[in-house]
Amino acid sequence: MTDLTALKYTDQHEWLLVEGDVVTVGITDYAAGQLGDIVFVELPQVGATVQAGTVVCEVESTKSVGEVYAPANGEVVERNDAVVDAPELLNGDAFRAWLFKLRVDDPAVFENGGFLTRDQYTALEA
């Protein structure tokens, strides 16, 4: 079971697991539930340089498209191709079905606020 309180969140329904200068990014179970059955995932290329706040990833359901934003400036160091092959993993356990890992230029961004705690995020869902 993922410790959801150990994650950070964005108001765009992404979850972030920060480990040193690498952050793992996914979408929350709430976002997956809102999208419905997820049928297509497009991930960024490993090695891509991304800018905070830009769309780096798309998650499509039968009904709609969800865009996933880069939480910080950095370089994509890993991607989870399992979710490309089986997008329904995101509907199963969104907190295990991570999308990509980013080596951020400045890990201090995660100390300076702008991201949500679990309590702050669940308050946002309601």
Contacts with other proteins by CB under 8 A lie at 33-34, 36-37, 39-40, 42, 58, 60-65, 91
The nearest distance, CB 4 to other proteins, in angstroms, is: 21
The nearest distance, CB 91 to other proteins, in angstroms, is: 7
Q: Which is nearer to other proteins, 2 or 62 (CB)?
A: 62
**How far apart, in whole angstroms, are the C-alpha atoms of residue 112 and residue 101?**
20
- The residue with tokens 């230029």 is 105
The nearest distance, CB 47 to other proteins, in angstroms, is: 19
Provide the token pair at 23.
């952050």
DSSP bridge pairs for 78: 101
Q: Which is nearer to other proteins, 33 or 114 (CB)?
A: 33
The nearest distance, CB 3 to other proteins, in angstroms, is: 26
Q: Which is nearer to other proteins, 100 or 115 (CB)?
A: 100
Provide the token pair at 64.
């709609």
Q: How far is CA 1 from CA 26, 62, 95, 99, in A?
A: 15, 28, 9, 18
- The residue with tokens 């993993």 is 89
Q: Which is nearer to other proteins, 46 or 65 (CB)?
A: 65
